[in-house]
Amino acid sequence: MRCDIMLHIFVSDLAGRPVLGKLAQRIAERTQGWVFVEFQAPPSASLLGQLETAGRCIRVNDYVYLDSSAMAAWNAHPDFHVLK
């Protein structure tokens, strides 16, 4: 059996966006799901390598799907950002 749920949360206050990243990571952890991450600019090979080392990372063009472990690594990365 398979169930797909897509959750969209938008945060207009830039200060609240790190909380959104942590919330997405926690939801992925509890549901064994994935987080869709779209980057402001194409991610570097170094960043993608770090995410793949931390957890599961599926690359699709200029965005990725991250499992909870990889999302935790993205949350802790100095280049972390959330697009509106």
pLDDT digits (tens, 9 = 90+) for 52-61: 999 999 999 8
Domain chopping of the chain, boundaries = 34-84
The tens digit of pLDDT for each residue in 37-76 reads: 888 888 889 999 999 999 999 999 888 999 999 999 998 9
Q: Reading across the β-sheet that carries 57-60, which strands appear in turn?
A: 35-38, 63-66, 57-60
pLDDT of residue 18: 82
DSSP calls for 7-74:
------SGGGHHHHHHHHHHHHHHHT--EEEE-SSPPPHHHHHHHHHHS-EEEETTEEEE-HHHHHHH
pLDDT of residue 65: 92
Tokens 């980057």 correspond to 39
